[in-house]
Amino acid sequence: MPTKDELKPMKILDYEAAGRKVVLWAQKPETRPADMAEFRQQLKGLVDIPERYETLEICQGDDHHFILRLPPNRQVSESEARAKKQAKENPGVASYDPPHFYLDMLTGEKPFDNIEFYYSRISDYTIRGCR
């Protein structure tokens, strides 16, 4: 949980459904949100979007153009500091707290089919970003 001065990250509430939305946007550009208000509306109930986000930019690469999306400096710096602190406090313990579906898949706690896992991964790396 972020402290008062830390940036609150986006929190995905339904990884599979959010991933399905991203795939729809990638395949059908006319369905993409035009602004942050529409982004919030389309992801309502799927992603908790902090109020600090005011604007939206959507970009999409193609088969010949790669887009390297770098996380915001402050956000990646806070995440790095948190990871180092966790590693120091719990050496050898997996305290990074990855999304539940990775652990469910690896441990077999919850059976996943390929499609559910596919959509969940897409939402994780597209929406969640650095945390």
For 79-131, the pLDDT digits (tens) are 888 888 888 887 765 666 778 888 888 888 777 788 988 999 999 988 876 55
pLDDT given at position 131: 56
Rounded CA Rg of the chain: 16
pLDDT given at position 79: 83
pLDDT given at position 46: 97
Q: What is the pTM of this model?
A: 0.82
pLDDT given at position 112: 75
Q: How far apart are CA 114 and CA 67, in angstroms?
A: 26
Q: Give the pair of three-digit tokens for residue 91.
A: 């050496």
Burial class (CB in 10 A: 0-12, 13-18, 19+), 19: buried
How much of the chain exceeds pLDDT 90, in percent? 47
| From 3-12, 59-68, 75-84, 88-97, the region with the lowest mean pLDDT | 88-97
Cβ atoms of 30 and 62 within 8 Å: the answer is: no
